[in-house]
Amino acid sequence: MTSDRFTESFPSLREEIGEDPARFLDVPLLGSTGASTPFGLARARIRGIDEIGTAKAWLAVERALGRGDDDGPRERVVDLLEARIDDLEEHGERPSNEQLVMSWGGWAQTSTGRETFLQNYLGPVPDHVTAQAFDELPLA
C-alpha cells in the first residue's frame, strides 16, 4: 500500500542523503503549533539535521515544491532551514559515530573494510570531535 500523503518526491536526494525531504516538507502549515502535527515533525527533523549539505538539500526541495502563497518557498520553512545552516556553520557539523570511535584510536567498519584511526591518519582530530567524544564516551 502506498501513501498519497505527499505528491512530489526526489528519489535522487533519497540516494544522495538517505532520505527524501519532501516526505516531511510537502505538508500544510495549518495547525502547525503542535509537535505531533505534520509540520511539527518537519520542524523537529530540521532541528536534527547534522550536515550542512543535507540542510541545503532540504532548502532546495522546499524551493522546488513551491507551496508558498506566491508558488515559491514558505518563508517559515526557509527561516528554519537557514537558521539550521547558520548553526551548523557556526558550531560545526556533528561528527559521525565512526569519527568518534576512530578519534580514540579505535576501529570502524567502513566500505573499504576494518580501519583504524592510526592506520588512516589524515591529520589532527578536530577539537569538536574530541570534545564530543569526551562528552559521549563512557571513560572510566
Q: Are residues 81 and 105 in the same domain?
A: no
Mean pLDDT, the chain cut into blocks of 10 residues (140 residues total): 60 87 84 71 90 94 89 90 93 72 57 54 61 65
How many structural domains is the chain composed of? 2
Number of helices followed by number of strands (H, E) in the chain: 7, 2
Q: Which residues contact 37 (CB under 8 A, 6 or more apart)?
A: 31
Q: Which domain holds residue 49?
A: 11-91
Q: Is residue 4 part of a domain?
A: no
Q: Are 73 and 56 within one domain?
A: yes
Nearest CA among 108, 132, 131 for reference residue 119: 108
Q: What is the pLDDT of residue 119?
A: 47
Do 60 and 106 belong to one domain? no
**The pLDDT of residue 106:** 59
Rg (CA), the chain: 19
Q: Are residues 18 and 49 in the same domain?
A: yes
The CB-side HSE value for 49 (13 A sphere, CA atoms) comes to 31
| Residue 78 · residue 59 · CB < 8 Å | yes
All residues at 6 or more sequence positions from 28 whose CB lies less than 8 Å from its CB, including other chains? 38, 39, 67
Which contiguous run of DSSP H or E holds residue 110? strand 107-110
The per-residue b/e assignment along 73-111, b for 16 or more CB within 10 angstroms, e otherwise, is: bbeebeebbeebbeebeeeebbbeeebbbbbeeeebeee
CA angle 126, 83, 92 (to 5 degrees): 0
Predicted confidence at residue 88, as pLDDT, reads 92
